[in-house]
Structure 1
Amino acid sequence: MSGVTLKGAIKRYGKTQVIHGVDLQIEDGEFCVFVGPSGCGKSTLLRMIAGLEDTSDGQIHIGARDVTNADPAERGVAMVFQTYALYPHMTVEQNVGFGLKMNGVPKAEIDEKVAKASEILQLGPYLDRKPKALSGGQRQRVAIGRAIVRGPDVFLFDEPLSNLDAELRVDMRVEIARLHKELGTTMIYVTHDQVEAMTLADKIVVLRAGNIEQVGSPMELYQNPDNKFVAGFIGSPSMNFLNGVVDQGGVRVPALNDTLIKTDVSLPANGAAITVGLRPQHLAVTEAKSGIVVNLRERLGGVAYDYLTTPTGERITVETKGDDPIAPNTTVDVVFEAEHAMFFDAESEARLR
């Protein structure tokens, strides 16, 4: 097993730079998730670690080895892609062991490794089937099995669940988490789905436009984001952001009845624009008619989400327990837990502390 270290890693395509001097330490045995919107550079960074993309500048180390210029086969990594890339004419057993066969590994050793991987991934009943006779989740487990038999130092996953339906995604998240616990191998996982990131990761790396915005455990990023981007990206539903103005040592929020939030946070001068962040579970709807309009209620069983529009035109999501009936176009008021409010500079989007 090995950790992964990136030192000033840069990627350019011609004159266009897409990864901007990334420094990152992934510890031995850690499950690290790269997360961010489409085009943020997460898959490019993963492919640089795999050796499928050249590193324009900087260094990449796996364990004590500098692999910056090493061929992919020499890096000790195994990659699982979004597409299963299975051979349709081969059985599951043949697909899992094919890479070992091509490398001249003795058949007895191949059989042993395939059997062990099949046991870990619960593929035993399907070894004689061909891919067309498997579900999407089973095919993805075969692709993971093909990676396991190689005994890599690092597993790399590039959005492996994107092609699965919602129920299978949940099942496979559990499978991958169990696999990591059983193998204890360093894993780096790319996704645009922050729910996957929150549920799988020991460490999350939030990327935007080729830069790292913040690195930390899931709950560190959720409870203590460094900026508005991280605060809005981590957490489902997303944090609400409302315009505020510094006033009398606090922040006045026009959208919420011009409420003044008192805070110990270091604020700029009176009159400065501030963005106020409130998570949906820290808000509640009341019956007072303040001009805030209910657009839609989504019922998810024990939890509902109310989507509201304020008199200032800003949108708010409120998490509600139970099933209090609220009809669309109803005018309501919103109250909130002021101690959970976060404040961000309106221009730089940096968190004010």
Structure 2
Amino acid sequence: MTGVTLNGAIKRYGETQVIHGIDLQIEDGEFCVFVGPSGCGKSTLLRMIAGLEETTEGEIHIGARDVTHLDPAKRGVAMVFQTYALYPHMTVAENMGFGLRMNGVAKAEINQKVQEASAILKLDQYLKRKPKALSGGQRQRVAIGRAIVRGPDVFLFDEPLSNLDAELRVEMRVEIARLHNEIGATMIYVTHDQVEAMTMADKIVVLRDGRIEQVGAPMDLYRDPDNRFVAGFIGSPAMNFLECNVVDGRVTHPAFNHPVPVTSSVPANATKVTLGIRPEHLLVDRTGDTCTVDLTEALGGVSYSYLLTANGDKLIIEERDDERSKQGARIGISFSAERAMLFDNETGERLR
């Protein structure tokens, strides 16, 4: 059993607390992604698991072992960093086997483990090359291979794709997901890119200001967010938010010619709530005139139209039909009530 458990994990730097009592269970063999904006504490939390940051309070368990105060080398983890950190004077094979060599592992065993890792990562033909002769994606695969040969209980990834261009990031996302399926190890992955989180994770942990906002499967967070922060962070393009008036229990906004259709209950004393609706759930009414098309982005199979409502609010709508909105056009919009989400204006919590 090589899951990871955090019980009340806290991190302070002097008087400043940056991680606030994290309770989290990561199951054996699970691919868990920590996601959130810069400064939310995701890398700090990962480094606490690795032992690179001291845990001020609370406990961290890997499998059945309490590793809270163990040295990093004794925790059974291997970490892949944003920078490749390869030795330029060593070959790919030497880089991958360096950690084992430093631990006194026999040469024959090192060669066997390097060969096995290189086969998984499709690096066989590059083993004799130096890092300067590799592409960015190949260098990152070498860094991952260096982690694989150690046979860790848990793999830790700290924004490993940030230095790659867009095409390579997509390629490496597929590679890492395939690697997880092939070796079945527990993996914890840090990113600020919610697309990476959605496409790779079994479980997503959304962090903000050192606290967990929500934990769940990617599509569960997408379809059923607990608050406005999670709703706005998960999904690309982001969810639309409109501040709406509440009159006699009915939700209204100038973008609609009728009360907003909702299934959520509205607090009896509410005068305003926030409506959340995803771009793909908005429908175009070509006969309407409540919105102006400010800009369109045609991406081939899909277009995104940026709308301005009568009171100046902004919306994004996804269009896939043959007929698509043109800049300057006046249109109306609608949606099904079950697609709408309401949030408390003050707390940001979801109204259900």
**TM beyond 0.5:** yes
Q: How far apart are the structure 2 equivalents of 1:109 and 1:271?
A: 68
Q: Which range is displaced more, 239-248 or 168-177?
A: 239-248
Q: How far apart are the structure 1 equivalents of 2:243 and 2:107?
A: 66
Q: How far apart are the structure 2 equivalents of 1:94 and 1:53?
A: 29
Give CA deviations for 1:202-233 in whole Å, capped at 9, x if unaligned: 10000000000000000110111000000111
Deviation at 1:310, TM superposition (A): 1.1
Q: Which range is displaced more, 103-112 or 282-291?
A: 282-291
User: What residue is the counterpart of 1:337 in the other structure?
Assistant: 336
Q: Indicate the SS of the match to 1:260.
A: coil
Give CA deviations for 1:66-94 in whole Å, capped at 9, x if unaligned: 11100000000000000000011111011
Q: How does 1:145-294 map to 2 (within 5 A)?
A: 145-257=145-257, 259-269=258-268, 272-288=271-287, 290-294=289-293
Q: How far apart are the structure 2 equivalents of 1:289 and 1:214?
A: 38
Q: What is the identity, as a one-letter code, of the residue corresponding to 1:321?
A: R
Q: How far apart are the structure 1 equivalents of 2:62 and 2:219?
A: 27
Residue 121 (structure 2) pairs with residue 121 (structure 1): yes
Q: What is the identity, as a one-letter code, of the residue corresponding to 2:56?
A: S
Give CA deviations for 1:138-174 in whole Å, capped at 9, x if unaligned: 0000000000000000000000011111111111111
Runs of 4+ in 1 over 6 A off after TM superposition: none
Deviation at 1:333, TM superposition (A): 1.7
Q: What is the identity, as a one-letter code, of the residue corresponding to 2:175?
A: E
Q: What is the identity, as a one-letter code, of the residue corresponding to 1:315?
A: K
Is there any run of 5+ residues in structure 2 with no aligned partner, and where?
Answer: none
Deviation at 1:328, TM superposition (A): 2.0
Deviation at 1:201, TM superposition (A): 0.5
Q: What is the identity, as a one-letter code, of the residue corresponding to 1:193?
A: D
Query: Normalising by the residue count of structure 1, what TM-score does the alignment of the two structures yield?
Result: 0.97
Deviation at 1:270, TM superposition (A): 5.6
Q: Indicate the SS of the match to 2:260.
A: strand
Q: How far apart are the structure 1 equivalents of 2:219 and 2:63?
A: 27
Q: How far apart are the structure 2 equivalents of 1:271 and 1:288?
A: 32
Q: What is the identity, as a one-letter code, of the residue corresponding to 2:301?
A: G
Is there any run of 5+ residues in structure 1 with no aligned partner, and where?
Answer: none
Deviation at 1:28, TM superposition (A): 0.5
Deviation at 1:178, TM superposition (A): 0.7
Q: Indicate the SS of the match to 2:86.
A: coil
Deviation at 1:313, TM superposition (A): 1.4
Q: What is the identity, as a one-letter code, of the residue corresponding to 1:341?
A: A
Residue 313 (structure 2) pairs with residue 309 (structure 1): no
User: What residue is the counterpart of 2:317 in the other structure?
Assistant: 318
Q: Which range is displaced more, 241-250 or 216-225?
A: 241-250
Contact 2:195 / 2:236 at 8 angstroms: preserved in 1? yes
Q: How does 1:130-145 map to 2 (within 5 A)?
A: 130-145=130-145
Q: What is the identity, as a one-letter code, of the residue corresponding to 2:334?
A: V
Contact 1:2 / 1:62 at 8 angstroms: preserved in 2? yes
Deviation at 1:296, TM superposition (A): 1.3
Q: Indicate the SS of the match to 1:161.
A: coil
User: What residue is the counterpart of 2:326 in the other structure?
Assistant: 327
Q: What is the identity, as a one-letter code, of the residue corresponding to 2:300?
A: G
Q: How far apart are the structure 1 equivalents of 2:326 and 2:264?
A: 38
User: What residue is the counterpart of 2:346 in the other structure?
Assistant: 347
Compared CA separation, residues 261 and 289, structure 1 to 2 (3 A): closer
Q: Indicate the SS of the match to 1:160.
A: coil
Q: How far apart are the structure 1 equivalents of 2:76 and 2:139?
A: 23
